[in-house]
Amino acid sequence: MVTVAQQVAGVALTNLPAFCRVVGTISPSIQFELWLPDAAVWNGKFTQSGSGGLGGYINYTQGATSRDGMALNLRRGYAAAATNQGHAFNTTDWMLAPGLLVDWAYRANHEVAVRAKSIIASYYGSAPRLSYFEGCSVGGVQGLMAAQRYPLDFDGIVAGAPVASSPAWVYNLWVAHALYKQAGASIPPAKLPVIYNAALATCDANDGLRDGIISDPETCMFDPNVLLCSTADNANCLKAPQLQALNQLYGGARNPRTGAHLSPGFSVGSEPFWTPFVSVLRPQGSAVSWYTWAVFEDPAWNWKTFDFDADYQHERTKLASIISTEDPDLRPFRDHGGKLLMWQGWADATLPPQWTVDYYKAMIDVVAAEHPNGDGLQLTQDFARLFMNPGVAHCTGGVGADNFDPVGALEKWVEQGLAPERIVATKFLSGAVQFTRPLCAYPAVPFYDGGDPHNASSFVCR
């Protein structure tokens, strides 16, 4: 039995089967680990885990509700690997080095995959018969990066909340500008329930059931302008500057000169998770670090000066060739036999969910252009499927059913040819099942069909 200290949370992992722990470094500073279960329990397969944020740590696990991480995969019988992407956690100097940026963006995961398979072959006497990658947030971005740049590395990829880094970061700045650069535009956290309840009143019942969950934000016709204060400001309405900011949050980031869309906005129904954005007078997440060091290389850079025309173009010119995961042409991955399972919570307020939907639509367009007389959606679903999780926040949490097994669904698809039409997800509270819901292969949406509203069998995908 080996006990490993979890690097980020400082929690010791327990209940691990016996395994051989390989710790390695790939020049210049890509650290990785490979855990090899006993030959008697090895399932003959390999899985690599991505990591969130700006990386810098090895993803042993991400908590009790995690759907990724080395510990989970080891318990499933996999040879499991992960990497720190070539730098230490919570540091910034690597963003000033183009080579280390490349390691973080794509080289580290590829190099680890190649070396891990070689070590596995030496250790067991045979190479893994199948290789998988799974991750959420930037881990999901890493999954898309692997499918785009190294289509032969993996047979199956789970990419959760895989919003491309550049649109996500520019949107983070857009939110801060909308809320804090105009007098009176800031929305107090106490008014988020007012916005959320108004959205629910408009769209909650569209799926046939009022349950506090908006199943299809894309078709929700919520008009925020109904919240405009008719007289004096009060707890149940928004002043004109606040309403203008709200429309900007939903509308997404745009180039002020051309009107071009730079990033989608928050989805209707995600309002309960806006608190980190509306309660502090600055951008959230890693956007400030990214622009300070990688984009402008200026420790005195001020986010309030960001120009959504010139500065955004500067970032794209300088770094898109390294970090972009926006190429929707995954035909080389498809032709290798690869399967891609994408997913994201519709209530995700960290990374705009509509980007993932739009990327998937772009994939369909690529395939449709290749087969003008065929069904582009069906041909895309032959190798890539998207599951949007109503009411679910960033990777986990929210009012929706946030606990499910995408790796298990991917295994059945790759190994048995059983393409997932719906995946049953569960909502737990204090360890007890509250309800189950189907996650439907996009563009299908769950609709209540009668019966027990707490049971996924009472919903159909259409």
pLDDT tens across 15-46, in order?
Answer: 889 999 999 999 999 999 999 999 999 999 99
pLDDT tens across 290-348, in order?
Answer: 999 999 999 999 999 999 999 999 999 999 999 999 999 999 999 999 999 999 999 99
CA-based end-to-end distance of the chain: 48
The H or E element spanning position 122 is helix 108-124
Q: How much is the pLDDT for 9?
A: 43
Environment class of residue 377 by beta-carbon count within 10 Å: exposed (0-12), middle (13-18) or buried (19+)?
Answer: middle
Q: How much is the pLDDT for 7?
A: 40
Share of the chain above pLDDT 90, in %: 87
Rg for the chain (alpha carbons), in Å? 22
pLDDT tens across 41-90, in order?
Answer: 999 999 999 998 899 999 997 444 456 789 999 999 999 999 999 999 99
**pLDDT band at residue 432 under the 50/70/90 scheme:** very high
**Residues 6+ positions from 429 with CB-CB distance below 8 Å:** none
3-state secondary structure at position 196 = helix
Q: How much is the pLDDT for 166?
A: 85
The answer to whether residues 451 and 457 touch, using CB atoms and an 8 Å cutoff, is yes
Neighbouring CB atoms inside 10 A of 422's CB total 18
Residues in the chain: 462
3-state secondary structure at position 28 = coil
What is the chain's mean pLDDT, rounded? 93
Q: What is the pTM of this model?
A: 0.95
- Angle value at C-alpha 296, between 294 and 299, nearest 5 degrees: 90
Catalytic residue list: 137, 348, 394
Q: What are phi and psi of 215, to 5 degrees?
A: -75, -30
For the four alpha carbons of 105, 110, 113 and 119, in that order, the dihedral sign comes to: negative
Q: How much is the pLDDT for 66?
A: 58
Helices 138-149 and 108-124, axial angle in degrees (round to 10):
80
**pLDDT band at residue 112 under the 50/70/90 scheme:** very high
pLDDT tens across 243-281, in order?
Answer: 999 999 999 999 999 999 999 999 999 999 999 888 877
Q: How much is the pLDDT for 197?
A: 97
SS (H, E, C) 94-114: HHHCHHHHHHHHHHHHHHHHH
Name the one residue in this structure whose structure tokens are 């199956």: 156
Q: How much is the pLDDT for 65?
A: 47
Share of the chain above pLDDT 70, in %: 96
Q: Which two tokens stand for residue 371?
A: 């087969």
3-state secondary structure at position 284 = coil
DSSP assignment of 35-86 equals EEE-TTT--SEEEEE---TT--S--S---TT-S-SHHHHHHTT-EEEEE-TT
Q: How much is the pLDDT for 440?
A: 98
Q: How much is the pLDDT for 67?
A: 66
**DSSP summary character for residue 274:** -
Name the one residue in this structure whose structure tokens are 């003008």: 372
Q: Distance (Å, rounded) from C-alpha 197 to C-alpha 271?
A: 9
The H or E element spanning position 143 is helix 138-149
Q: How much is the pLDDT for 167?
A: 87
Q: How much is the pLDDT for 63?
A: 47
Q: Which two tokens stand for residue 220?
A: 């929700």
Map out the domains of the chain with their CATH numbers. Answer: 19-164+326-429 (3.40.50.1820), 167-322 (no CATH)
Going from the C-alpha of 407 to that of each of 55, 71, 136, the distances in angstroms are 22, 14, 12
